[in-house]
Each structure stands twice: as structure tokens, then as C-alpha cells.
Amino acid sequence: MKKVVLIGGLLVLTAFLSFCGREQKAATEVPPYTVNAVRPDADGTTRILLYYDMEGISGVNQMAQTGFGNPEYPTGRDNLTQDVNAVVAGLFAGGADAVDVTDAHGSGNPEPDVDLAKLDPRAKIIYKEASFDPYIDLPETEKYDAAAVVCMHAKTGSPGFISHTYNGGCDWIINGKSINETEIIAYSWGRFGIPVIFASGDDVLKGQLEYMGWLEYVTVKKALSWTDAELYPLDQVHAEMEAKAKKAVENLSRAKYVAFTEPLTAGLRTQFPADHSILEGVPGINYKDHTVTFPAKTYREAYDGIVKLIRVAGLGRLKLMQEYLAQSEQGPQIIKEVRAYMLKKYEDWMAGKWDPDAAPVQEEKKDEKYFGAK
Ligand SMILES: [Zn+2]
């Protein structure tokens, strides 16, 4: 009896040791990303860059509230401004010396989506002379100690309210990890050792960011479906935003930044309405399970490659347009007109009247100022 127990114990011990060995082996493999301690503040001022989106606004549960030109848009804009102001108040209360704001939504509004007339005057929107992508063209990184993101949403394919990543149906996969827009920003800033310390959005996004234990997160609504959410009381949400933004700055020295291990493997997985299946079978292109995967030396290269693939995946929308035209009453006429237009362009090209490869004509816009996503 004793012997059996001893042998049993040895078997358990051997199994345990080989399990540990496997653990050790896994630990020596290169991790897909790293979580790192922030460097102490060097210049003595705490400057935060605040990003805002619109799908994760506390008072918003209709898509129309997030698109410029819709009758519902002003209510979205007003609620957005209230959310931003609550977070700005908290950041300053926590010890921030400056809060700069950038637009990460791009509703089509020629003005920033946040209402500047009602924005806390201590917060300054960033204006630049040239157009920039706030996710990747980070302005003056050396000035910032942290980034905060508000009114964000969950990633493509997840059950969040208006879940998407950059574009509908586009799932960003870097080093095997499917990421949301908050993570796109976090890994982008991580290149410079700068952490994201605050985020707000729905309950689904909260789950996707749980591994960032240092991040102060405010759940503003519960996603019921892609098009509906149960809104939480605004007073309660704004009070929580202010308190957690304050805490985020107070605990800044204990925050972490995330970084993808380079070189990277990047990919775009598509689902309806995005579709880049046209690339399947092209020699040199790795297409499998609705996913194009490619190697990238840097995060920037991965980012740019994915954005280009997203343009290809726009074919999914074109297909839909064709399908709609084919069944609509005016469809045949419009298709005829498009063919005639194409023929005319072709004749003009042949006649040397224009060059399809020429760089697009830049309109002289002397006073144009850029504030983030367009
Ligand atoms: Zn977004």
C-alpha cells in the first residue's frame, strides 16, 4: 500500500517537474508584448494627452449620435463634451499641469467633435499645420507623461456597442493578439515608454483591457447589442470619471506601458462588411481564414501595412454597392453613366489631358488647421 503511494507520489512529482520545465521553456520564448514600468518624470511637469472617440460616450446609445450631420449628432456632441470635461477636471485635480486634447473620432465635422465653446478652458485642443493621424503620428512625445482615452469602444467581432477597429469588420492582429483602438493607442505610445492611464467606454471594452491593471476604467454603459446599450446615470458616471482620472494621475509613477516585441507579425482579419479575400492565392501573400499576415520590422510598419489592407478590404463595401445598384430602379442607368464616365477619363488620359499616376492636386488651404482624425 505504502509502495503504491510512493510510486504515485513519484509520478505526481515527475509530472510536476516536467510541467515546470514546460513553464520554464515557455518563459524563455519571446513574449508577444511586454508590460513595463514607466520611467520617472524628468521635467517636473505632468502633461497628459487626452484622446476622445464617440461610440463610448456615456449618454449615447444610437449610432446616429456619433455622425456629423445627423439630427441626433448635437446630443452626442454635448454628452461627449460633458465626459471630456469630467475627465479633464479629474486629471487636473490629480496634479496634471497641462491637458492637451486630440480628436480620434473623425465624424466628418470640419470642427472638432468636442464642443470648444463648452470645453474646460484649461484643456487645449491640439492644432497642427499638416494633417496627422493621432494614433501613430504622435505629437511631441517628449512633452507627455501619459495618455488618457475617453468614450472608446470594443473591437471588431466582440459584442460591444458599435464594436469595430478603425473600420467596420476589420480585426487588427499583432503578434497574434487581436487589439482594439485603445490598445492601438497604448502600443503606439508604448514605443516612447508612455502609458495610457485612463479609459472609458462600455462593459465589453472593460473586459478587453482588464490585463492593464494600472488603467483606471469607467464603465459608462452596458452593451445590449451592436446598436443598443443600457445607459448608466450621467451624474454617477461623471463623478466616477472625475474620481478615477484624479487617481490615475496620482498613481502615474506606478503605471505601466505596453510594447509589442519587434520584429512583429501583423495581420488583418476581416468580417462583413470588410473583405480582402481577393488577395487569396496571390503568390507571396499569406491569406488564410480571412486573414492576411505579414512580417513587420516596427510597430509603425505593422500599422501602415494594416491600414493599407483595410483599404483593400473596402472592396467588401463596393460589392455591397454593386449589389444594391443591381437591384435598385435607377441602378442600370447609374451603371451606364459610370461606364461613360470611365470611357471619357480613358480618352482624356490617352489624349494626354491628365495622368492617373500624377500626385493628387493639393488645394491651397493656407489657414487649414488639423486637430486629429478627419
Ligand atoms: Zn473608434
pLDDT in tens, 17-55: 444 444 444 456 788 999 999 988 778 899 999 999 999
Measure 151 CA to ligand 1 centroid, in angstroms.
9
pLDDT for the residue numbered 364: 56
pLDDT for the residue numbered 28: 62
Measure 152 CA to ligand 1 centroid, in angstroms.
6
Q: What is the gyration radius of the CA atoms in the chain, in angstroms?
A: 25
Measure 348 CA to ligand 1 centroid, in angstroms.
40
Span of 94-98, 151-155, 241-245, 362-366 with lowest mean pLDDT: 362-366
Measure 153 CA to ligand 1 centroid, in angstroms.
6
Measure 105 CA to ligand 1 centroid, in angstroms.
6
Measure 186 CA to ligand 1 centroid, in angstroms.
14
Measure 12 CA to ligand 1 centroid, in angstroms.
50
Measure 88 CA to ligand 1 centroid, in angstroms.
20
Measure 154 CA to ligand 1 centroid, in angstroms.
9
Measure 220 CA to ligand 1 centroid, in angstroms.
16
- CA dist 288 and 333 (Å) reads 38
pLDDT for the residue numbered 362: 64
Measure 210 CA to ligand 1 centroid, in angstroms.
19
| SS3 per residue for 181-224 | HHHHHHHHHHCCCCCEEEEEEEHHHHHHCCCCCCCEEEEEEEEE
**10 band by pLDDT with thresholds 50, 70 and 90:** very low
Measure 29 CA to ligand 1 centroid, in angstroms.
33
Measure 106 CA to ligand 1 centroid, in angstroms.
9
More confident residue, 222 or 67: 222
At which residue does the C-alpha cell 464594436 appear?
Answer: 163
Measure 11 CA to ligand 1 centroid, in angstroms.
53
Measure 181 CA to ligand 1 centroid, in angstroms.
6
pTM for this predicted structure: 0.88
Measure 166 CA to ligand 1 centroid, in angstroms.
6
Measure 353 CA to ligand 1 centroid, in angstroms.
40
How many other C-beta atoms lie within 10 A of the C-beta of residue 359?
6
Measure 71 CA to ligand 1 centroid, in angstroms.
21
Measure 53 CA to ligand 1 centroid, in angstroms.
5
pLDDT in tens, 251-295: 999 999 999 999 999 999 999 999 999 999 999 999 999 999 999
Average pLDDT over residues 358-362: 75
C-alpha cell at 75: 446630443
* Number of residues that this document lists for the chain: 374
Measure 310 CA to ligand 1 centroid, in angstroms.
15
More confident residue, 374 or 40: 40
Judge whether residue 352 has pLDDT over 90: yes
C-alpha cell at 227: 446598436
pLDDT in tens, 295-306: 999 999 999 999
Measure 122 CA to ligand 1 centroid, in angstroms.
25
Give how far the C-alpha of residue 313 lies from the chain's centroid of Cα atoms, to the nearest Å.
Answer: 17
Average pLDDT for the chain: 90
Measure 149 CA to ligand 1 centroid, in angstroms.
11
**143 band by pLDDT with thresholds 50, 70 and 90:** confident
Judge whether residue 12 has pLDDT over 70: no
Measure 104 CA to ligand 1 centroid, in angstroms.
7
pLDDT for the residue numbered 16: 42
Average pLDDT over residues 216-221: 98
- The Cβ-side half-sphere exposure at 75, using a 13 Å CA radius, reads 11
pLDDT for the residue numbered 139: 67
By the 8 A CB rule, do 207 and 180 touch? no
pLDDT in tens, 156-197: 999 999 999 999 999 999 999 999 999 999 999 999 999 999
Measure 277 CA to ligand 1 centroid, in angstroms.
24
C-alpha cell at 191: 514605443
pLDDT for the residue numbered 42: 77
**135 band by pLDDT with thresholds 50, 70 and 90:** very high
Q: What percent of the chain has pLDDT over 70?
A: 90
Measure 355 CA to ligand 1 centroid, in angstroms.
35
